[in-house]
Amino acid sequence: MGKTLLQKVWDLHKVRTLPSGQTQLFIGLHLIHEVTTPQAFDALRQRGWKVARPDRTFGTVDHIVPTRERARPFLDVLAEDMIAALERNCRDFGVRLAGLGDDRQGIVHVIGPELGLTQPGMTIACGDSHTSTHGAFGAVAFGIGTSQVRDVLASQCLAMEPLKVRRIRVNGMLPAGVYAKDVILAIIQRLGVSAGVGFAYEFAGDVVERMTMDERMTICNMSIEGGARVGYVNPDRTTFDYLKGRPFAPSGEAFDRAVAWWTSIASDTDAVYDDDVEIRAGELTPIVTWGVNPGQSIGVTAAVPTGKEPGADPTAVADALRYMGLQPGAPIAGLKVDVAFIGSCTNSRLSDLREAAKVVQGRHVAPHVKALVVPGSAQVKQAAEREGLDEIFRQAGFEWRGAGCSMCLGMNPDKLEGNQVCASSSNRNFKGRQGSPTGRTLLMSPAMVAAAAVTGEVTDVRELV
Ligand code: SF4
């Protein structure tokens, strides 16, 4: 009987089975950032411990960094303290850091792949839920908490519960105006936000096979929003072509040897799955969330629920509609937006900015909308500027910022105010996620955010392109 990629990578990295039944896994790459590391490094210092494998640890700054005014010291004392602590910790413990001013800086899940640190067959951990992004390369990548960050720094190992595997095959052809973001939102809408608990999601099918690495990263990124601990795509020629020539990828003959090994860790054709789901791509439409979790979504031409739909939880629907200020059964298209945010580790790569720029070009942001584009990394920013995308956005009335998490989580100066409604290319629409306790988030693709920015309301992007 064949094995899945998850089983192969798990077995290769297993140190032992712990008395708790958990697996002690060796972690091939530990990515760190400023927010989930200060206490972890403090714990090491108190015990006089070293970082076990600084050569397998890499840091950057993203969550709390300002994206507009970056002169040091920052006005925000907490941000200054956190960044300074990471700089000091990386220096003291011999860990590589792509800090502010380094042209490798950016959101941790954007820079790992673009630097070639992320590779097939690896186990990867990072103190951020959306570490599942790296699964796009055929890695098994976990988001972890601060105490686990400490454990990985100290031992390069993690205690993990074994996972089942659900294969999700997306087959057919995506209609025009439907993007990878719509695919993952549709998957979460259909399966629910907790169906993935205890599972790894293996994304497959001809749509996924045709996807670029940027698109695969978008769907793996949001696996966690469907409850799955990890999401992955089997590595193939698209993966290898992306990695070739990246700074930390193997080169020369080592690259050819790596490709042979990377190929071998893909799921076997006779692998057995704990569950198998098929999504028909041709039936998908651009999707918008209407509620307070990423599963509460509808097609842009549909109406928000009333709570009386079969299988609906009337209390949860009523609570979400009340928070969002929506009437039961109201169309989502035409809902006024105050802010448009293109960014986050889900959708801030060059291809995302290109798609959004196509919608924006020759148009202007609606007068009542504040619109910002926050590239995922310094390298994405530079590449976009070389193509003139920054000018397209600026001329349309967008703000063009420095790389960081920005309005994905409201931990830096980019926050919603009051009960503003934000069309956002990020990954979480939880209550208060974007920095205001009453702020309202509508998740959608970057092209849909661009459409909402220029019309001032939720708009079917297919009408504009
Ligand atoms: S963009 Fe959002 S989800 Fe991604 S790493 Fe930053 S805070 Fe986490």
Q: Is 408 in the pocket of ligand 1 (CB under 6 A)?
A: yes
Extract the tokens encoding 106. 């950016």
**Which residue's entry shows tokens 């959101």?**
107
What amino acid occupies position 39? Q
Strand order in the sheet with 275-280: 230-233, 199-204, 164-171, 275-280
Nearest ligand 1 atom to the CA of 344 is 1
| pLDDT tens, position by position, 152-191 | 999 999 999 999 999 999 999 999 999 999 999 999 999 9
Strand order in the sheet with 399-400: 399-400, 370-373, 339-342, 421-424, 440-443
Nearest ligand 1 atom to the CA of 411 is 7
State the distance from the centre of ligand 1 to the C-alpha of 302, rounded, in angstroms: 29
Mean predicted lDDT score pLDDT of the chain: 98
Q: Which residues of the chain are under the pLDDT cut of 70?
A: none
| pLDDT tens, position by position, 299-321 | 999 999 999 999 999 999 999 99
State the distance from the centre of ligand 1 to the C-alpha of 260, rounded, in angstroms: 33
Extract the tokens encoding 406. 């920005």
State the distance from the centre of ligand 1 to the C-alpha of 221, rounded, in angstroms: 10
Which pairs with CB-CB distance under 8 Å and at least 24 residues apart come from 296-302? 296/320, 296/429, 297/185, 297/186, 297/188, 297/189, 297/443, 298/189, 298/332, 300/332, 300/333, 300/444, 300/448, 300/458, 300/459, 300/460, 300/461, 301/331, 301/333, 301/460, 302/331, 302/332
Residue 1 pLDDT: 87
Extract the tokens encoding 437. 């306790």
